[in-house]
Structure 1
Amino acid sequence: MKDIKMVVTDMDGTLLNSKHEVSPRFFEAFKQLQQQNIRFVAASGRPYYSIVDKLKTIKHDITVVAENGGLVIEDDTVLLANTLDRNRILELYTIVTKIPDTYPIFCTKDQAYILRASDEMVTIFSEYYSKYTLIDHFDEIDADVIKIALYHTVNSEAHIYPLVKYLKPELNVVVSGNHWVDISEAITNKGNAITLLQKQYNISPEQTMAFGDYNNDLELLQCAAYSYAMENAHPDVKRVAKYETKTNDAYGVEVILEQLISESGKH
């Protein structure tokens, strides 16, 4: 572990606990990582503004991979933005609005467009998409869409994914949580975003540590020699990761970071 130069962690189900909070224990570990010149990357299906809100005290010191790798921002500088073609979005709009019990959210850099949702549903979505506009029609979307997030009230893998998986490989279609399926450009995934950062900073997979819990983390974990599945992770993630750590509620990320800090042995 002593050669690690970059740590990448997913947010929901990984760094965040079940109440969607980041622990003080993480911020303490982050200070030590900084002292040892180890880069920290937050990589999530969440939008940029939501990730930064959770990590606001350190937002100028980290790299943010948002929207499953569709957007990479470092200290307000956009390093990568993969947007969907307008005609493609219109096609997808027609498809996703016909899926039963499913709520489509069109994600842009600065806000989300939520289609025809009740107040109760908007409350759920606003945890992830704090900046949003409610819309009734496609024409009301007036910014570049990076990702379409689909929410199912019961289970996305059972009720949404089978109806949209045929869109692969032309598009990236991934189950990103118990209730979520995300659709984006084919090249959009956390792994491609991390590969870009590894090239930019001359950091190898052997010098990279990564944590994840759901299927939108698979490519990310494959970019890191030190890849950790959370104890609460999807079975597919446990198959891909080399190691396992405790749950997100038992400080699974922090435990390993503290081990890394002590093994790097410079503090």
Structure 2
Amino acid sequence: MTTPDIRLIAVDMDGTLLDPAGRIPDGLWPLLDRLRERGIAFAPASGRQLATLQRSFGEAGRDLDYIAENGAYVVREGVEVSSDALDPAFVRDLILRMRRLVADGALHAGVVVCGKESAYIEDTDPRFLAEVEKYYARLSVVDDVLAQQDQVLKLAIYDHDGGETHTAPALDDLRRTHQVVVSGAHWIDIMNAGVNKGVALRNLQRALGITPAQTVAFGDYLNDLELLQAADWSYAMADAHPDVAAIARHRAPSNAEFGVITTIETLLEFPGRPA
């Protein structure tokens, strides 16, 4: 089989690249070196903020491309490719609405205001704070999130009882004007209409001058649907959400089996990792 002309690989993080303990597999680091030698760009694509992704990859990620905040912020080698900030009036209205829903007992949830410079929270519930700190390397705990001066790329809501069954239905009316994305078992992301990982990947493809036929994408959850649709070489992880598995052209072993790494090695005919 002829090795395909791959120029870009976009990879979701949680449930996809990261192992079940939330760590980057050791096998990725030599693989990144081989991709650089082959001239293939590597782009982590996540709901996480840019600073968190950069911290995760450290020095090895200095020249990577990043699709952050579920596609609202794209950076290539430290330079912004695209961003899409929410209207401040919408942000204010939704924050006030969430405060009322929580105060009335309709939801058991906390809100993260995801800005370009930092993430902001005013809820200091220990469980909420512990979850937020996993994903936001730049995090400010403030008295009033509405008092902060920053471009807001996304509002992320952590629902203690389950985002898909509680917060998503409560905010269903927002789907008429905005993206309301279930990005995890407890997380709901709200962004501008048309913002998703797929749009971000297409922006990155244009910046690189490459096509979907030269692109590989891996994902496992609902916020990865558009990402996979923007790549001809689309892979759903073995334990992916059924909707993701339905649209992917290929399957990859699970993250517990290092499916991203082994699939890339096979696809590009790289020698396997040492035992």
Query: 2:54, 2:62 within 8 Å by CA — same for their partners in 1?
Result: no
Q: Report Cα offsets for 1:156-210 as digits up to 9, x if no partner.
A: 1111111112211411110001110100111211111111111222211111100
Any residues of structure 2 matched to 1:23-172 within 5 Å, and which? 23-97=25-99, 98-99=101-102, 100-172=107-179
Any residues of structure 2 matched to 1:190-209 within 5 Å, and which? 190-209=197-216
Q: Report Cα offsets for 1:194-250 as digits up to 9, x if no partner.
A: 111112222111111000111111111001111011112111111111111111121
Unaligned runs of 5+ in 2: none
Q: Which secondary structure does the structure 1 equivalent of 2:135 belong to? A: coil
Q: Which secondary structure does the structure 2 equivalent of 1:14 belong to? A: helix
- Counterpart CA distance in 1 for 2:89 and 2:20 is 38
Q: 1:18 aligns with which of 14, 17, 20?
A: 20
- Counterpart CA distance in 1 for 2:182 and 2:126 is 25
Q: Report Cα offsets for 1:27-46 as digits up to 9, x if no partner.
A: 11111111111111111000
Give the deviation of 1:153 after TM superposition: 1.4
Distance 1:200 1:75, change over 3 A: closer
Superposition CA RMSD, Å: 1.6
Match of 2:190 in 1: 183
Give the deviation of 1:18 after TM superposition: 2.0
- Counterpart CA distance in 1 for 2:175 and 2:68 is 21
TM (norm. structure 1) is 0.94
Query: 1:152, 1:160 within 8 Å by CA — same for their partners in 2?
Result: yes
Any residues of structure 2 matched to 1:228-267 within 5 Å, and which? 228-262=235-269
Query: 2:55, 2:137 within 8 Å by CA — same for their partners in 1?
Result: no
Number of aligned residues: 264
TM (norm. structure 2) is 0.91
Q: Which moved more, 1:113-122 or 1:173-182?
A: 113-122
- Counterpart CA distance in 1 for 2:270 and 2:77 is 29
In the TM superposition, structure 1's runs of 4+ consecutive aligned residues that sit over 6 Å from their partners are none
Q: Which secondary structure does the structure 2 equivalent of 1:61 belong to? A: coil
| Seq. identity, % | 34
Query: 1:60, 1:74 within 8 Å by CA — same for their partners in 2?
Result: no
Unaligned runs of 5+ in 1: none
Q: Report Cα offsets for 1:91-110 as digits up to 9, x if no partner.
A: 11122231511111000122
Give the deviation of 1:263 after TM superposition: 6.7
- Counterpart CA distance in 2 for 1:250 and 1:165 is 36
Q: Report Cα offsets for 1:14-69 as digits up to 9, x if no partner.
A: 11112221111011111111111111111100000001111112222210010011
- Counterpart CA distance in 2 for 1:229 and 1:169 is 28
